[in-house]
Amino acid sequence: MYDSQAVSHRSQGATFLFSYFLGIFGADRFYLGQTGLGIAKLLTCGGCGIWAIVDCFLIGCGMMKDVDGLPLSREVSGTPTRSQAVTYLLAAFLGMFGADRFYLGQTGLGIAKLLTCGGCGIWSLVDVILAGMAQQKDVDGNSLQFS
């Protein structure tokens, strides 16, 4: 049993980047200390890509745990009121329309993102990565809640 306040020494940001860019090679699972799963993911090319995509979403939503079952560490500032999972899913599926920025209370940025189709996709991609790394903040500068 672990203390409910205990957090892994492994970073959510690093885990997400490993998963996003090297997920088919199992880099994220190796980083989390899950060597057996890392080897399985490596040998199957991330389960033909499906396992790699699922892991990306699990990490991006803040649901992935390390080998000891601890939640991944991340910086927390302010009083989190908005969900990281919702922000990540909005950025991934509706980011071109600024839905993630509207959800975070950043109306001006949401409108700008909507009018530019997510900055021709580049801004949307950056927001997906930032949300997955738990680096997004709401309009008041608060971090996002764990899921």
Residue 4 lies in a domain: no
pLDDT of residue 1: 40
Mean pLDDT of the chain: 94
Torsion of CA 116, 117, 119, 120, to 10 degrees: -120
Tokens linked to 80: 């989190």
Q: Which domain holds residue 51?
A: 12-60
| pTM of the model as a whole | 0.92
Same-domain pairing of 82 and 44: no
For residue 106, what are the CA distances in angstroms to 59, 61, 94, 98, 103? 24, 20, 15, 9, 7
What pLDDT digit, counting tens, does each position of 52-86 carry?
Answer: 999 999 999 999 999 999 999 998 999 999 999 99
Residue 134, burial from CB neighbour count under 10 angstroms (0-12, 13-18, 19+):
buried
Q: How many CA atoms lie within 13 A of 66 on its CB side?
A: 18
Same-domain pairing of 51 and 83: no
Share of the chain above pLDDT 90, in %: 94
What pLDDT digit, counting tens, does each position of 76-112 carry?
Answer: 999 999 999 999 999 999 999 999 999 999 999 999 9
Torsion of CA 30, 44, 70, 104, to 10 degrees: 110
Same-domain pairing of 87 and 147: yes
What pLDDT digit, counting tens, does each position of 127-138 carry?
Answer: 999 999 999 999
What distance in Å separates the CA atoms of residue 123 and residue 119, rounded to the nearest whole number?
Answer: 5
Residue 136 lies in a domain: yes
Name the nearest CA neighbour of 84 among 128, 118, 132, 141.
Answer: 132
Tell me 10's DSSP state.
S
Assess whether pLDDT exceeds 90 at residue 32: yes
Number of domains making up the chain: 2
